[in-house]
Chain A
Amino acid sequence: MTEPRHIPVRVPVLARVEGEGTLELRVHNGAIEDLRLRIFEPPRMFEKLLEGRDYSEVPDMVARICGICPVAYQMSAVHAIESLFGVDPGPWVRAMRRVMYCGEWIQSHSLHIHMLAAPDFLGYSSVVEMAGKYAQEVRRGLKLQALGNDLIRLLGARSVHPVGARVGGFHRAPSREQVNLLLGKLRELLPEAEDLVRWTAALDLPEHEQDFTCVTLRHPREYPMNEGRLVSSHGLDIPVDQFETRFVEQQVAHSTALHCLLDGQPYLVGPLARLNLNLDRLSDPVRKLVNSLDIEFPSRNMHHSIVARAIEIVIAIREATDLLESCQEPRMPYVDIQPRAGSGVGCTEAPRGILWHRYELDAEGKVVHARIVPPTSQNQSRIEADLRESLQNFGPDRPEEALRRHGEMVIRNYDPCISCATHFLDLRINRWPV
C-alpha cells in the first residue's frame, strides 16, 4: 500500500475560502485622489512548494491552486514541462486537452455568469435571491455547469482538482460509451447555451467605454486555448517564452499579490480580451450568433465581459463536440518521458485569461525553480485603473453602500479568482474636507 503524501497545501485552500478584498478610497473635493485594491493571492506559495518535487507530481500539485480552474494550471504546467523535454504527445492528446479545457471554460463561465455577475445586472444581491424570478435561467446555468464538470470528469476522473492529466498525455482514455454519453449532452445543451448568449446580451448593461490594452494568445487557425503567440491590441506579438522580456511583475505595498504590467502599463486578459482579438477565429455559426447581437465586438465596455463569457461557452460546446466526434480511441493515452535538465515555458488561456508557467528542472526531472503568473495578478492593475475611472464617473460622493456595490460590480467583470473575497468587499473611504 502506498504511503499517503503529505503536501502542506491547506493554507492556500483556506485562504481562498476566507480571503478578503479591501478597497481603499481617498476622495478630495469629490475627486478620487488615491485608490487601492488590497487582495491576497495565495498561489505564490506553490512555487516554493514545487521545488524539489518530481516533474510527474507537478500537474496534480498545481491543480490545487484553484478549485475553479485546476485544468488551466495543469495545462500550462504540462505544456511547459513537455517543451523542456522536447515531447510531442500527438494529436489525440492535443485534442483531448482541448476538450478538457472546454469543460473548464463551460463550468467556470457558467458559474460566474449566474452566481456572480447576473445578480449585479438584475438588481439582486445573490443568485439565491435571483432564482425566485429567474428560476429557468438559473436552472439552465446549473445544467451548463454540470456539463462542464462532466467534460472535466471524462478526462480528469473528477471535476474538482482532477487527476487524469499527466506530462505526456492522460493516465487513461475515456471509453467510446463515455464519449457518446457526453456528445449527447453537448448536443442537447448547445441551443440553451445560444439562448444564454442572447439573454446576457439583452441585459441592461451599463454603457461605459474605456481605453485598455487587451492581451491574449493567438493561434494561426483556432480560437486560442492551449497554444499560440502572445499578442496585444497594441502590436505585441511574441512567442510565450519571451513573456519575461515585456511583462514584469512588481510588488506593491498595499497587496500581498504581485501586479503584472506590460511595458510598465496595465492590461486586460480574459474572455473580453480573447474575443476582441480573435473574432476572425470564430467558426461560422458562432460568428453568425455574435453578429446577430446588438453589441458590437471588439468592445471597450468591460460590462460586456458577461456576454463574452456566454459566447465562449458556445465556442467550447461546439469545439468539444467536434473534437469528440472525430476522436479515435488511442493505443496509448500518453507518451513516455525521458527527463532532462533545462527550462521550459507554457502559457494557456485559463477562463480568466493567460496563465504563464516556467519550470527549471534538473537532470532527474526535479523542480529547481518554478514561476507561475496567474491571470488575476495580471488583471489587478487594470482593475484598479477601471475602478478609479468607473467610481469617478459614478460619483465618489455617493453613499458608501452604493459605492461598494458599484465597486464590486466593476471588480466582478474581471472574474478575479478572489471572487469570494470581492463579495465581502470592505470599503474604506477617507473623504476630505469632511
Chain B
Amino acid sequence: MNRRVHIIGTGSPFGDDRFGWAAAEALRDSPTLNDDAFRWIEVSILDRPGAMLPVHWQAADIVILLDAVRSGVAPGTRHCLDARNLPDADMLCSSHGFGVVSAIGLARALGNMPSRLLLRGVEADPSWSGFCLSPAVADALPAFVGDIVEEARVLSGFYVPAAANRG
C-alpha cells in the first residue's frame, strides 16, 4: 500500500511569507499530482496554523512542509531540512509566535509526529512587502515546485492501480 504524503504550504498573505502558499497552489495545478496515480498525495494551504499544525498532519505518513525561511542568506536560496535533525523547540512559546519548530516540539511531546517530516523552503527577502513574491523568490519557485513533485512521487511509493486497492 502506498504511503500517504501530505504537502502543506504555510504562510500569510504578506510578501515572501506567502511562498508556501504559492508553492502549494502550483503543486495543486501540477498535472503530475493531479493524476489518479498520485491520489496518495494531498496538498493543503494553511494560514499561520501555529499550534494547530500537528492536527492537520494527523493522518499522514510523510509530511512535506513548505514555508518561507529567514536565515540571513541570499533571498531565493533553497533550504532542505529533516525534522529529525531539528533541535527541541524553543520553550518561549506564545500565542502569537508559535512557529513551526514549536509545533514540531508539541507534536513530539504528544506522540503525533509522522514517520518523516521534511521542511522545504526558500529564503525570503526581508526588505520585500506587498501581496506578491519578491523577484528572487518568484524566480526560485518553478524549479522548487518541480523538485517537490519529484520528491513526493518517490516518497509516496509505487503506483498501485485503483482497482487493486479496492479489493
Q: Which A residues are within 8 Å of any B CB, using their own CB? A: 4, 6, 8, 10, 13, 16-17, 67-68, 111-112, 115-116, 125-129, 131-132, 135, 138-139, 142, 145-146, 149, 158-161, 419-424
Given contacts A17-B96, A116-B94, A125-B91, A135 and B52 within 8 Å (CB-CB):
no
B96 CB contact (under 8 Å) in A4, A10, A67, A131: A67
CB-CB under 8 A from B97, the residues of chain A are 17, 420, 423
Interface segment among B23-31, B106-114, B144-152: the answer is: B106-114
Number of A-B contacts (CB under 8 A): 87
B51 CB contact (under 8 Å) in A13, A132, A145: A145
CB-CB under 8 A from A13, the residues of chain B are 14
Q: Which B residues are within 8 Å of any A CB, using their own CB? A: 12, 14-15, 47-48, 51-52, 54-55, 88-89, 91-98, 102, 105-106, 109-111, 129-132
CB-CB under 8 A from B129, the residues of chain A are 8, 10
Closest 7 CB pairs of A and B: A131-B109, A420-B94, A420-B96, A128-B105, A126-B91, A126-B93, A420-B97
B94 CB contact (under 8 Å) in A6, A131, A142, A419: A419
CB-CB under 8 A from B93, the residues of chain A are 115, 126-128, 423
Q: Is the CB of B51 within 8 A of A146?
A: no
CB-CB under 8 A from A6, the residues of chain B are 130-131
Q: Is the CB of B47 within 8 A of A160?
A: yes
Interface residues of B, dominant DSSP? loop
CB-CB under 8 A from B102, the residues of chain A are 126, 128
What residue in chain A is nearest B49 (Cβ atoms)? A160
Q: Is the CB of A142 within 8 A of B55?
A: yes
Q: Can you pick out 10 interface pairs between chain A and chain B where the beta carbons lie within 8 Å of each other?
A: A17-B97, A111-B95, A115-B98, A126-B91, A135-B110, A145-B51, A145-B52, A146-B55, A149-B52, A422-B94
Bound-complex Cα distance A394 to B52 (A):
36
> How distant is A349 from chain B, measured CB to nearest CB, in Å?
19
> How distant is A374 from chain B, measured CB to nearest CB, in Å?
15
B89 CB contact (under 8 Å) in A128, A160, A419: A128
> How distant is B119 from chain A, measured CB to nearest CB, in Å?
18
What residue in chain B is nearest A127 (Cβ atoms)? B93
CB-CB under 8 A from B98, the residues of chain A are 115
A132 CB contact (under 8 Å) in B47, B52, B109: B109
Q: A111-B95, A126-B92 are in contact. List 20 more A-B contacts (CB 8 A).
A: A6-B130, A13-B14, A17-B96, A112-B95, A115-B93, A125-B91, A125-B92, A127-B106, A128-B93, A129-B91, A138-B106, A138-B109, A142-B51, A142-B52, A142-B55, A160-B12, A419-B95, A420-B95, A423-B92, A423-B94
B95 CB contact (under 8 Å) in A115, A132, A135: A115
Bound-complex Cα distance A159 to B52 (A):
12
> How distant is B41 from chain A, measured CB to nearest CB, in Å?
24
CB-CB under 8 A from B110, the residues of chain A are 131, 135, 138-139
CB-CB under 8 A from B95, the residues of chain A are 68, 111-112, 115-116, 419-420
CB-CB under 8 A from B55, the residues of chain A are 142, 146
CB-CB under 8 A from A115, the residues of chain B are 51, 93-95, 98
CB-CB under 8 A from A131, the residues of chain B are 106, 109-110
Given contacts A67-B96, A135-B109, A146 and B52 within 8 Å (CB-CB):
yes
> How distant is B102 from chain A, measured CB to nearest CB, in Å?
6
Bound-complex Cα distance A422 to B92 (A):
10
> How distant is B67 from chain A, measured CB to nearest CB, in Å?
15
Given contacts A128-B91, A129-B91, A131-B110, A16 and B96 within 8 Å (CB-CB):
yes
CB-CB under 8 A from A149, the residues of chain B are 52
